[in-house]
């Protein structure tokens, strides 16, 4: 996990490249990419691995997590290439994966079961975090500062597994709001297939959200160096309260959540969507009731969602989005593909809502149809899968030309089967971190941080800002892949 700072990027770039590159150079197997994008989560698992674990080079890890606080916090996911469990991005990952499964589950075919399993691996852990001790919401395991000084497999961890929590006296409305959103969204995924589990998720979502609202404050302030600079809540916590309430509204139909949102006075319309800033996602989620349900009370959210799209479209008079010459959305230098996949997820979902009612809107004089948005979204997905100047797939294990030196501890070190002896904290640096050799284990499905603004990708393990994968990059692309796979049938 790397230092990721979010700032506003307002660079307007409009040229003919987008249209000249709008047609894919070749045909992509979206179904294969969908399968691999979900498989990736098995490579990120913490805890006791099940008998049907498919990523065979991984072993059980973090089996004493929580013991320092005398609680069980085993399970969950490592966020990226490190061995820390950060609940803030993990919960966001879970919310996105649940949303995409809700929207596109019927299009996923056999991958629906795998998507549910990926969600449940996270929610089982989040439920532990919400219930392990009274008046405490556990939000992370593992000292990130110690962990980032080491290069060792998760199976070998010998760094301190510090336990972090928020409480009434040390609040964390941002992480609590996101955890509530994740539990609420997941409750909808399991509503028909496991109603008992779904009810448990929703009950905990309500409880955790009440905590977020009652004890307001940023977890970054409460946790200090355990959160920053790794996953600082740069945008504050109001967007997570908004996001959490939006998901609870969808899960419960309790109009009090709408009333709560209206009291927040949060009218921000950013030009990105990420683990830190949830406004755009909340607007699209709420806009569904206006576009699909024709509920006039939600028209302001529809307008905000469309204002967001107008900031993304390259030929919109209101665009504030930069594109590379190869046609890729470019927001920030570090882990740029996280913004590409999350924005693309919103684009396909809003296009889906528009198509259901033949809805259109305008960005100034530009008429925007479902097809307008779909073309842009497809361009981003195809770029990631290989339609780019380097002809490289940024999904590991997809195609023949993909990143080989991924910034990921488990992938870059020999597996337990190949090297039964433990690697100490420093043991993996010289032989494996600094080598130019390819990683011995292929982290199938992982999408890395991606190329720079010049469409160049160096494929260097030490260049974490471009070569590190992350759960939230993958969670966002699951929906678009299912969307474009089903559109081919």
Catalytic residue ranges:
407, 459, 468
Burial track 14-39 (b if 16+ CB lie within 10 A, e otherwise): eeeebeebeeeeeebebbbbbbbbbb
Query: From CA 297, how far away is CA 255, in angstroms rounded?
Result: 11
Query: From CA 225, how far away is CA 210, in angstroms rounded?
Result: 26
* Strand pairing category for 137-141 and 329-330: unpaired
CA angle 54, 55, 60 (to 5 degrees): 105
Nearest to 422 by CA among 240, 196, 155: 155
Query: From CA 113, how far away is CA 90, in angstroms rounded?
Result: 20
Query: From CA 230, how far away is CA 146, in angstroms rounded?
Result: 13
Query: From CA 37, how far away is CA 407, in angstroms rounded?
Result: 17
Burial track 283-316 (b if 16+ CB lie within 10 A, e otherwise): bbbbbbbbbeeeeeebeebbebbbbbbbbbbbeb
- Looking at residue 61, what DSSP letter applies? B
State the residue for tokens 């994966």.
97
Nearest to 327 by CA among 385, 271, 389: 389
> How many Cα atoms sit within 13 Å of 101 on the Cβ side?
29
Cα torsion for 276, 311, 340, 35, to the nearest 10°? 100
Nearest to 346 by CA among 377, 324, 319: 377
Query: From CA 479, how far away is CA 489, in angstroms rounded?
Result: 16
Q: For residue 325, how many other CB atoms are within 10 A of its CB?
A: 13
| Cis? peptide before 229, omega within 30° of 0 | yes
Tokens of 301: 């959210």
Q: For residue 200, how many other CB atoms are within 10 A of its CB?
A: 17
Contact 257, 246 (CB under 8 A): yes
């Amino acid at each position: 996990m790397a230092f990721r700072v979010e700032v506003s990027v307002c660079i307007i770039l409009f040229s003919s490249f987008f249209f000249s590159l709008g047609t894919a150079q070749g045909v992509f197997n979206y179904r294969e990419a969908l399968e691999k994008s979900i498989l990736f989560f098995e490579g990120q698992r913490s805890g006791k691995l099940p008998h049907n674990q498919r990523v065979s080079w991984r072993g059980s890890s973090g089996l004493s997590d929580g013991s320092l606080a005398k609680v069980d916090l085993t399970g969950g996911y490592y966020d990226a290439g490190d061995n820390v469990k950060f609940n803030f991005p993990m919960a966001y990952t879970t919310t996105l994966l649940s949303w995409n499964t809700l929207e596109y589950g019927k299009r996923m075919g056999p991958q629906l079961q795998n998507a549910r399993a990926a969600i449940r691996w996270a929610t089982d852990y989040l439920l532990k975090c919400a219930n392990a001790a009274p008046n405490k919401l556990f939000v992370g395991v593992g000292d990130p500062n110690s962990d980032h000084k080491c290069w060792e497999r998760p199976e070998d961890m010998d760094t301190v597994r510090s336990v972090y929590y928020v409480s009434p006296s040390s609040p964390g409305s941002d992480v609590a709001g996101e955890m509530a959103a994740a539990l609420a969204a997941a409750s909808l995924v399991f509503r028909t297939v496991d109603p008992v589990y779904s009810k448990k998720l929703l009950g905990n979502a309500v409880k955790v959200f009440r905590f977020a609202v009652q004890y307001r404050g940023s977890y970054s302030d409460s946790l200090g160096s355990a959160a920053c600079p790794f996953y600082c809540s740069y945008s504050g916590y109001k967007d997570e309260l908004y996001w959490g309430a939006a998901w609870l509204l969808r899960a419960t139909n309790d109009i009090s959540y709408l009333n709560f949102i209206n009291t927040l006075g949060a009218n921000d319309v950013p030009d990105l969507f990420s683990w830190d800033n949830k406004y755009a996602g909340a607007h699209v989620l709420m806009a569904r009731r206006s576009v699909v349900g024709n509920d006039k009370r939600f028209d302001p959210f529809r307008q905000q969602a469309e204002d967001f799209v107008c900031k993304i479209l390259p030929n919109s008079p209101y665009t504030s989005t930069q594109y590379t010459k190869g046609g890729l959305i470019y927001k920030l230098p570090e882990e740029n593909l996280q913004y590409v996949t999350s924005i693309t997820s919103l684009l396909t979902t809003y296009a889906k809502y528009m198509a259901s009612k033949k809805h259109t809107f305008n960005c100034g004089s530009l008429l925007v149809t479902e097809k307008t948005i779909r073309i842009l979204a497809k361009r981003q997905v195809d770029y990631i899968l290989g339609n780019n100047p380097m002809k490289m797939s940024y999904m590991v294990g997809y195609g023949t030309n993909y990143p080989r030196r991924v910034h990921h501890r488990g992938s870059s070190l020999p597996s337990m089967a190949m090297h039964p002896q433990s690697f100490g904290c420093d043991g993996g640096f010289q032989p494996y971190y600094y080598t130019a050799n390819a990683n011995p284990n292929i982290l199938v499905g992982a999408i890395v941080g991606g190329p720079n603004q010049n469409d160049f990708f160096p494929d260097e393990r030490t260049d974490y800002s471009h070569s590190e994968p992350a759960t939230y990059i993958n969670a966002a692309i699951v929906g678009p892949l299912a969307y474009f796979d089903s559109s081919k049938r």
